[in-house]
Amino acid sequence: MSPSMIPPDSDPVGRADRPLTIVVDGAEMQGVSGQTLASVLLAAGRSHWRTAPNGTPRGVFCGIGICFDCVATVNDVPDIRLCRRPARDGDTIATQTRVFEEER
């Protein structure tokens, strides 16, 4: 997978992709119909969108929906695996965190 999108006018294959826009934590990102949400984020330069309980960043690990490292909240539904979810125009994604607070 390429980390960047190829502009339609310079695509040697000549595809007629349908563009779409998603919003991630308030920032608009462009993609094309057929991409997963994870691939839209990766193409936009985002390598992680979840924080694990120990504070480490998480994004795509397995890429096939087994590991749950790539979960985020999509359209107010938490724990959606972005590597499996097709992007739809207008989707709203919020990153998740599961960092444990230290007991006082």
In a domain, 4, yes or no: no
The pTM for the full model equals 0.78
| Domain boundaries, position 72 | 19-97
Domain CATH number, residue 45? 3.10.20.440
pLDDT in tens, 43-85: 999 998 888 888 888 888 888 888 888 899 999 999 999 999 9
In a domain, 41, yes or no: yes
> Lowest-confidence range among 7-11, 30-34, 59-63?
7-11
Nearest Cα residue to 86 out of 74, 69, 76, 68: 74
pLDDT at 5: 65
pLDDT at 8: 64
In a domain, 2, yes or no: no
> Lowest-confidence range among 10-14, 74-78, 91-95?
10-14
Count of domains observed in the chain:
1
In a domain, 10, yes or no: no
In a domain, 74, yes or no: yes
